[in-house]
Structure 1
Amino acid sequence: MANPTATDNVPATGTLGTFAGVFTPSVLTILGIILFLRLGYVMGSAGLARGLVIIALANAISVITSISLSAVATNLKVCGGGDYYLISRTLGLEFGGSIGLVLFLAQSVSIAFYCIGFAEAIAAFLPHAHPATVQLIAAGAVAFLFIFAWQGADWATRFQFVVMALLVAALLSFGIGGIRHWDSAVLAANWATPGDGAPFWVLFAIFFPAVTGFTQGVSMSGDLADPGKSIPLGTFLAVGLSIAVYFGVAILFSASMPNAILAMDYGAMKRVSAVGFFIDAGVIAATLSSAMASFMGAPRILQSLAADRIFVFLTPFATVSQPSGNPRRGVLLSAGIAFVTIALGQLNLVAGIVSMFFLISYGLLNYATYFEARTQSPSFRPRFKWFSPPLSLLGCVICLGAMLAIDPKSGAAAIALLFAVYQYLQRTAGPARWADSARSHHLQQVREHLLAAAEDPAHARDWRPQLLVFTHDSPKQAAILSFAAWIEGGSGFTEAVQIVEGEGPAVRKAREAAHRNLTEAIVRGRHPMFPLTVSAADPTQAMGVLIQSSGIGPLRPNTVVVNWMDDSAKAISGINAYNYVRNLRLIFRQGKNLVLLHTDQESWQRLETRSREDRRIDIWWQGDATSRLMLLLAYLMTRNEPWNKTALRVLTQGDGARVEAEKETLKKTLEEIRIDAAVEIVDDVEAATIVNRSADAAFVFLPMKFVHNQILDPTGKSFERCLPRLPASALALAAEDIDLDAAPEEGLAAQVAQAADELEAANKKAQIAEKTAADKKAALESLKNQVETLETEGISGAVPLEEHDALKEKLKDAASGAEKAYRRAMKAKVKAEDAAKAVDTLNPGGLPAKPPDHKE
Structure 2
Amino acid sequence: MNSNKTTEHVAGGHLGTFAGVFTPSILTILGIILFLRLGYVVGAAGLGRALVIIALANLISVLTSISLSAVATNLTVRGGGDYYLISRTLGLEFGGSIGLVLFLAQSVSVAFYCIGFAEAAASFFPQASPAIVQMIAAGAVAFLFIFAWLGADWAARFQFVVMGLLIAALVSFFFGGVRSWDSALLAANWATPENGVPFWVLFAIFFPAVTGFTQGVSMSGDLADAGKSIPLGTFSAVGLSIVVYLAVAVLFAAALPNAALSTDYGAMKKISAIGFFIDAGVIAATLSSAMASFMGAPRILQSLAADRIFSVLKPFAAVSGPTANPRRGILLTAAIAFVTIALGQLNLIAGVVSMFFLISYGLLNYATFFEARTNSPSFRPRFKWFSPKLSLIGFLICLGAMLAIDPKSGAAAIALLFAVYHYLKRSDVPARWSDSSRSHHLQQVRQHLLAADEDPEHARDWRPQLLVFTQESDRRIPLLTFAAWIEGGSGFTEAVQIVEGEGPAARKTRESAHRKLMEAIAQGHHDMFPLTVSATDYVQTVSVLLQSAGIGPLRPNTVVVNWMGDSAKAISGIGAYTYVQNLRLIFRLGKNLVILRQDAESWDRLEAAPRKGRRIDIWWQGDATGRLMLLLAHLMTRSESWENSSLRVLTRGDGSRIETEKENLQKRLEQIRIEAEAAIVEDFEADTIVEHSSDAAFVFLPMKFESNRILDPSGKSFERSLPRLPVSAVVMAAEDIDLDAAPEEGLAAKVALATDDLDAALKKAKASEKVAAEKKAALEELNNQLKRLENEGVSGAVPLEEREALKADLKDAESGAEKAYRRAVKAKVKADDAAKTVDALKPGATTEAQPPKKS
Letter in 2 for 1:608: E
Q: Residues 252 and 652 of structure 1: is their aligned pair in 2 closer, same or farther, counting only changes over 3 Å? A: same
Asked if residue 369 in structure 1 is aligned to residue 368 in structure 2, the reply is: yes
Distance in 2, matches of 1:811 and 1:176, equals 107
Per the alignment, do residues 127 and 208 of structure 1 end up closer, same or farther by CA in structure 2, a change over 3 Å counting? same
Q: CA deviation at 1:696?
A: 1.4
Q: Deviations over 1:49-85 (max 9, x none)?
A: 2221111111111111101011111111111000000
Shift of 1:576: 2.9
Aligned to 1:851: none
Residue-by-residue CA offset, 1:764-806 (whole Å, 9 max, x unaligned): 1112222222233333334444444444555566656655555
Question: Where does residue 673 of structure 1 map in the other structure?
Answer: 672
The Cα of 1:809 is off from its aligned counterpart by: 4.2
Letter in 1 for 2:129: H
Q: Which runs of 5+ in 2 are unaligned?
A: 848-855
CA shift for structure 1 position 38? 1.3
Identity score, percent: 78
How far 1:166 moved relative to its partner?
1.0
In the alignment, which residue of structure 2 is the partner of 1:766? 765
Kept in 1, the 8 Å contact 2:751–2:842? The answer is no
Check the 8 A contact 2:460/2:743 in 1, yes or no.
yes
Contact 2:5–2:320 (CA under 8 A) maintained in structure 1: no
- Provide closer, same or farther for how the CA distance between residues 567 and 146 of structure 1 changes in structure 2, counting only shifts above 3 A: farther
| Alignment match, 2:36 | 37
Task: State the alpha-carbon separation in 2 of the partners of residues 778 and 115 from structure 1.
Answer: 100
Secondary structure, aligned partner of 2:493: strand
Residue of structure 2 equivalent to 1:445: 444
Looking at structure 2, the residues matched to 732 and 114 of structure 1 have their Cα atoms a distance apart, in angstroms, of 74
What's the offset of the Cα at 1:260?
A: 2.2
Structure 1 SS opposite 2:320: coil
More divergent stretch after superposition (211-220 vs 644-653): 644-653
Aligned AA (1:112): A
1:223 maps to a residue whose letter is D
What is the one-letter code of the residue matched to 2:82? D
Aligned twin of 1:137: 136
- Residues 28-177 of structure 1: matches in 2 within 5 Å? 28-177=27-176
1:583 paired to 2:587: no
Q: Give the corresponding residue for 1:360.
A: 359
Counterpart position of 2:851: none
- Partner deviation per Cα, 1:556-581 (whole Å, 9 max, x = no partner): 00000000013564342133333111
In structure 2, the partner of 1:21 is 20
Could you report, residue by residue, the CA deviation over 1:470-524 in whole angstroms, capped at 9, with x for unpaired residues? Answer: 0124311111011111110000000000011122221111111111111111111
Residue aligning to 2:571 = 572
Does the CA contact (< 8 Å) of 2:564 and 2:570 recur in 1? no
> What does the per-residue CA deviation read over 1:82-118, in whole Å, with 9 as the maximum and x for residues that have no partner?
0000000110000000000000000000001111111
d(CA) in 2 for partners of 1:348, 1:475: 67
* Residues 1:497 and 1:568: Cα distance change in structure 2 (over 3 Å): farther
Q: Partner of 1:853 in structure 2? A: none
| Structure-2-length-normalised TM-score | 0.97
Per the alignment, do residues 793 and 254 of structure 1 end up closer, same or farther by CA in structure 2, a change over 3 Å counting?
A: farther
One-letter amino acid of the counterpart of residue 695, structure 1: S
1:126-275 equivalences in 2 (<5 Å):
126-275=125-274
Give how far 1:654 is off: 1.3
Distance 1:222 1:575, change over 3 A: same
Residue 573 of structure 1 aligns to a residue whose secondary structure is: coil
Q: In 1, Cα distance between the equivalents of 2:254 and 2:800?
A: 106
User: Which residue of structure 1 lines up, in the alignment, with residue 853 of structure 2?
Assistant: none
Structure 2 distance, partners of 1:789, 1:264, is 108
Q: Could you say which residue in structure 2 is the equivalent of 1:611?
A: 610
Q: In structure 2, what residue type is equivalent to 1:270? A: K
Q: Distance in 1 between matches of 2:379 and 2:795?
A: 93
What secondary structure is seen at the aligned counterpart in 1 of 2:429?
A: coil
Q: Which amino acid aligns with 2:838?
A: V
Tell me which residue corresponds to 2:696. Answer: 697
Counterpart contact for 1:173–1:278, Cα < 8 Å: yes
**Is 1:282 matched up with 2:281?**
yes
Letter in 2 for 1:684: D
* Structure 1 unpaired stretches of 5+: 849-856
Asked if structure 1 preserves the Cα contact closer than 8 Å seen for 2:152 and 2:222, the reply is yes
Q: Which residue does 2:725 correspond to in 1?
A: 726
Correspondence list, 1:772-811, <5 A: 772-795=771-794, 804-811=803-810
| Residues 3, 318 of structure 1: 8 Å contact kept | no
Query: Are 2:80 and 2:219, in contact at CA under 8 Å, matched by a contact in 1?
Result: yes
Task: Confirm or deny that 1:298 pairs with 2:314.
Answer: no
> In the alignment, which residue of structure 2 is the partner of 1:528?
527
> Which amino acid is 1:191 matched to?
W
Distance 2:3 2:482 in 1: 52
Letter in 1 for 2:679: E
SS in 2 for 1:379: coil
Decide whether aligned partners of structure 1 residues 714 and 144 sit closer, same or farther in structure 2, where only a CA change above 3 A counts. Answer: same
| In 1: Cα distance, 2:371 partner to 2:345 partner | 40
Task: State whether residues 456 and 845 of structure 1, in contact with CA within 8 Å, keep that contact through their aligned partners in structure 2.
Answer: no
Residues 139-161 of structure 1, C-alpha deviations (whole Å, 9 max, x = no match)? 11111111111111111010111
Distance 2:405 2:496 in 1: 58
User: After superposition, what is the alpha-carbon deviation per residue over 1:177-215, rounded to whole angstroms, capped at 9, x for unaligned?
Assistant: 111111221222222222221122222111111111111
What is the identity, as a one-letter code, of the residue corresponding to 1:268? A
Aligned position for 1:658: 657
| Corresponding letter in the other structure for 2:747 | L
TM-score (norm. length: structure 1): 0.97
Please give the secondary structure, in 2, of the residue aligned with 1:264: coil
- Structure 1 residue 390: Cα displacement: 1.6
Contact 1:84–1:99 under 8 Å retained in 2: yes
Inter-CA distance 274–801: structure 2 relative to 1 (3 Å threshold): farther
- Contact 1:458 1:845 (C-alpha < 8 Å) held by counterparts: no
Match of 1:540 in 2: 539
Q: Could you tell me which residue of structure 1 aligns to residue 484 of structure 2?
A: 485
Shift of 1:129: 1.2
Cα deviation code 1:222-242 (max 9, x no counterpart): 000111111111011011111
* Mapped contact 2:173–2:268 kept (Cα < 8 A): yes
Aligned residues: 846
Out of 280-289 and 405-414, give the one that drifted further: 280-289
Structure 2: how far apart are the matches of 1:264 and 1:789? 108
1:737 aligns with 2:736: yes
Seen in structure 2, the aligned counterparts of structure 1 residues 259 and 708 have a Cα distance that, compared at 3 Å, is: same
Question: CA 1:809–1:187 in structure 2 vs 1: closer, same or farther (change >3 Å)?
Answer: farther
The letter for the 2-side match of 1:143 is A
Aligned to 1:428: 427
Letter of the aligned partner of 2:746 in structure 1?
G
Structure 2: distance between partners of 1:543 and 1:451 = 27
Whole-Å separation in 1 of the counterparts to 2:787 and 2:3: 114
**Deviation (angstroms), 1:128:** 1.6
Preserved CA contact (<8 Å) 1:474 1:568: no
Q: What is the RMSD of the two structures over their aligned residues, measured on CA atoms?
A: 1.6
Q: Are 1:412 and 2:407 matched, yes or no?
A: no
Matches of 1:90 and 1:724 in 2, distance apart? 56
2:852 corresponding residue in structure 1 = none
Contact 2:762/2:828 (<8 A) preserved? yes
Q: State the Cα distance separating 1:283 from its structure 2 match.
A: 1.1
The residue number in structure 2 matching 1:316 is: 315
Query: How far apart are 1:11 and its partner, in Å?
Result: 6.0
Closer, same or farther: CA 775–622 of 1 in aligned 2, 3 Å: same
User: Residues of 2 paired with 1:80 and 1:641: CA distance?
Assistant: 45
Decide whether aligned partners of structure 1 residues 449 and 4 sit closer, same or farther in structure 2, where only a CA change above 3 A counts: farther
Write the letter of the residue equivalent to 2:230: I
CA distance in 2, matches of 1:800, 1:264: 117
For 1:295 and 1:10, locate their aligned partners in 2 and report how far apart those are by CA, in whole Å: 19
